[in-house]
């Protein structure tokens, strides 16, 4: 265990509070307005800790096999949890778009596991890193839109419309990253049948 691992686990432990605060702010004795600012803080902590743990791991030579597994796992848990949460409440994004994101993560993770069992590692792709950044950006964007709605700057219909198209764009990009991943690693994937 090192500092980069602790930051990754911080994200995993913190993100369950996101759906709780979004769906049931009254449990914590707060209103939706205050809850939206706390939701933004949770996401900023998660996304910042993701950046910091990556920088620390590389600069201080703390890159480990454990880190290579738990960091993308934490990203997936964070983003998928947030997107599933947004299928409820005022945002109400279509569930099918979240399933596109979930299926992409499950398929790529399963392939990585199968390849690891065969003794070779599938390299991460730049497109996958961009995908993670885009997912995080859209999570934060939607919470900012919620805040703007609570501040009566943005209508509910515009909040839903912008949220929908933002998720649609990243769902399409997630599909492209999966295709890119398969294409770049096709020689390794062929070994799975040997």
7 pLDDT band, cuts 50/70/90, is confident
Query: Which one-letter DSSP state was computed for residue 144?
Result: H
pLDDT digits (tens, 9 = 90+) for 30-79: 999 999 999 999 999 999 988 887 777 778 776 666 667 778 888 999 99
Taking the CB of residue 161, how many other CB atoms lie within 10 A of it? Answer: 12
Give me the chain's average pLDDT, please.
Answer: 88
Question: What is the number of structural domains in the chain?
Answer: 1
The structure tokens 């943005």 sit at 154
pLDDT of residue 70: 79
d(CA 156, CA 145): 9
| Domain with 58 in it | 3-193
pLDDT band per the 50, 70, 90 thresholds, residue 26: very high
The answer to whether 107 and 169 have CB atoms below 8 angstroms apart is no
pLDDT 10s digits, 10-22: 899 999 999 999 9
CATH code of the domain covering residue 180? 1.20.120
Q: pLDDT tier at 190 (50, 70, 90 boundaries)?
A: confident
Query: What digits encode the pLDDT tens for the residues 108-131?
Result: 888 877 777 777 666 677 888 899
How far is it, in rounded angstroms, from Cα 175 to Cα 131? 10
* Gyration radius from the chain CA atoms: 18
All residues at 6 or more sequence positions from 142 whose CB lies less than 8 Å from its CB, including other chains: 86, 91, 163, 166
pTM for this structure? 0.89
């Amino acid at each position: 265990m090192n500092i980069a691992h602790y930051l990754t686990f911080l994200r995993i432990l913190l993100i369950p509070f996101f759906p709780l605060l979004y769906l049931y702010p009254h449990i914590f004795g707060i209103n939706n307005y205050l809850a939206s600012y706390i939701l933004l803080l949770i996401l900023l902590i998660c996304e910042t800790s993701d950046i910091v743990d990556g920088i620390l791991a590389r600069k201080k030579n703390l890159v480990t096999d454990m880190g290579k597994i738990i960091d993308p796992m934490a990203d997936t848990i964070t983003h998928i949890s947030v997107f599933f949460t947004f299928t409820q409440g005022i945002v109400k994004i279509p569930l099918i778009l979240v399933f596109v994101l979930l299926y992409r993560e499950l398929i790529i993770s399963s392939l990585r596991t199968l390849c690891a069992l065969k003794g070779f590692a599938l390299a991460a792709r730049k497109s996958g890193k961009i995908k993670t950044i885009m997912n995080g950006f859209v999570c934060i964007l939607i919470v900012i839109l919620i805040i703007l709605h609570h501040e009566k700057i943005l209508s509910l219909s515009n909040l839903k419309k912008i949220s929908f198209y933002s998720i649609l764009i990243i769902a399409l990009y997630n599909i492209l990253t999966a295709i890119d991943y398969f294409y770049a690693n096709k020689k390794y994937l062929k070994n799975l049948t040997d």
